[in-house]
Amino acid sequence: MKAAQSARTFIPYGQHFLDAEDIRQVADTLRQGPITQGPRIKAFEEALATYVGAKYAVAVANGTAALHIACLAAGIGREDRVVTSPNTFIASANATLYVGATPIFSDIHPDTLNMDLTALAATCHSLKNIKAIIPVHFAGLPCDMAAIRTLGKKNKALIIEDAAHALGAKYADGVKVGSCRYSDMTTFSFHPVKIIASGEGGAVTTNDEELYHKLLQLRNHGITKDSKQFRDKAAAFTDGEVNPWYYEMQDLGFNYRITDFQAALGTSQLRKIEAFLKRRKEIAARYDEAFASETTLTVTQKSGRKFSANHLYVVRIPFATAKMNRARLMTELKKRSIGTQVHYLPVYRHPYYQEHDYSHASCLKAEAYYKEALSLPIYYGLTDEEQKYVIASLKELLS
């Protein structure tokens, strides 16, 4: 076993998959140009909008930028509260801090690991000034968006879905995440561990034309080059003709642009998404089967596999009574060339949040879940043999 271990290439918990066509698309873009602000960005946006079934998509530098400009476009600002999940990557909450708002963490449901609807209803009921809800489709499993939309309407709250994990996932009615069927905007990330990769990259989808134009402006310094929109006519026009150099900054935006070679990669990856999703589903099903009668751990989100993008595969291990603690288990797995990760430390537990008014925050279900969580390798390129090895290693270490 030792010899086999040292010869084995490392199996990460998540990884992108690139083929020759992806590389050709990027190389062609680099050779031909333009390498930024060119037509491949629009092409990626159109492909993405078509795929998810939304009217508009705005591609940006990363998923965090997508959340940030979505919050800005929604008009979220000081005095506003935004409810989100504690069981998420920090960006979901940080985006609300960027715009001066206050994130409120509403506890999760232990089955879905997404925000619990009863807790969410209670959170919305007990607080005023809830400007928006940011549901996070944790590990790729969609939240019950029909119910969240109803809650949002009742509380006059906008809905921004954080679908960084959930490109290709479907709601219970079969409609794709990103279609904004139940939300104002949906954000995505194309970081390499996600469903498709563009290097860094992200996007916002929406069906609202006004939000779409705001998003376009916000990703580019708040600039408009549309002469019909110009506010300072004297500066914009000479003898009734628009000045050729002129553009206007009308809002405080950012440079959150994606490059054309990233967009070309995103488009090429999107063409393969059905194969990516199929393989992830297969891997999740094989883990489910292998762990079905396991007493040392429990699988999570099992009933949602069909709808999920299966971005993460998370098991719960009662480390308090297990054969070894989590740090030791992760180290032992790493020695065997197996990468694992913990998704997530409840956001409010990070020192920044603890030092900024969140020292009393506590979501009991998210806390209990965090103590037991472990994400196992899942990605398109994971071979059957590698997965068998992961399963056997984990069982052996825990037994």
Ligand X SMILES: Cc1ncc(COP(=O)(O)O)c(C=O)c1O
Residues lying near ligand X in the complex (CB under 6 A): 62-64, 88-89, 91-92, 136, 162, 164-165, 189, 191, 202
Minimum distance, C-beta of residue 61 to ligand X, in the bound complex (Å): 8
Nearer Cβ to ligand X, position 140 or 253?
140
Nearer Cβ to ligand X, position 71 or 394?
71
Minimum distance, C-beta of residue 189 to ligand X, in the bound complex (Å): 3
Nearer Cβ to ligand X, position 257 or 336?
257
Nearer Cβ to ligand X, position 137 or 214?
137
Nearer Cβ to ligand X, position 89 or 230?
89
d(CA 19, CA 127): 50
Minimum distance, C-beta of residue 200 to ligand X, in the bound complex (Å): 6
Q: What angle do CA 300, 305, 310 make, to 5 degrees?
A: 85
Which region holds residue 294: left if phi is over 0, alpha if psi is between -120 and 50, else beta? beta
Across 294-313, b (16+ Cβ under 10 Å) vs e yields bebbebbbeebbebbbbbbb
Minimum distance, C-beta of residue 33 to ligand X, in the bound complex (Å): 25
Nearer Cβ to ligand X, position 284 or 394?
284
Minimum distance, C-beta of residue 208 to ligand X, in the bound complex (Å): 21
Nearer Cβ to ligand X, position 16 or 191?
191
Query: With contact defined as beta carbons under 8 Å apart, do 47 and 270 qualify?
Result: yes
d(CA 37, CA 257): 8
Across 38-72, b (16+ Cβ under 10 Å) vs e yields bebbebbbebbbebbebebbbbbbbbbbbbbbbbb
d(CA 104, CA 134): 10
Nearer Cβ to ligand X, position 62 or 301?
62
d(CA 138, CA 135): 9
> What is the three-class DSSP state of 272?
coil
Nearer Cβ to ligand X, position 67 or 338?
67
Minimum distance, C-beta of residue 184 to ligand X, in the bound complex (Å): 17
Minimum distance, C-beta of residue 359 to ligand X, in the bound complex (Å): 24
Nearest residue relative to ligand X (C-beta): 63
Task: For residue 362, give the H/E element and its range.
Answer: none
CA 317 to chain centre: 25
Minimum distance, C-beta of residue 313 to ligand X, in the bound complex (Å): 15
Q: What stretches of 257-378 adopt beta strand conformation (E)?
A: 298-299, 313-316, 373-376
Minimum distance, C-beta of residue 154 to ligand X, in the bound complex (Å): 25
Query: How large is the C-alpha radius of gyration of the chain?
Result: 22
d(CA 224, CA 86): 37
d(CA 24, CA 234): 47
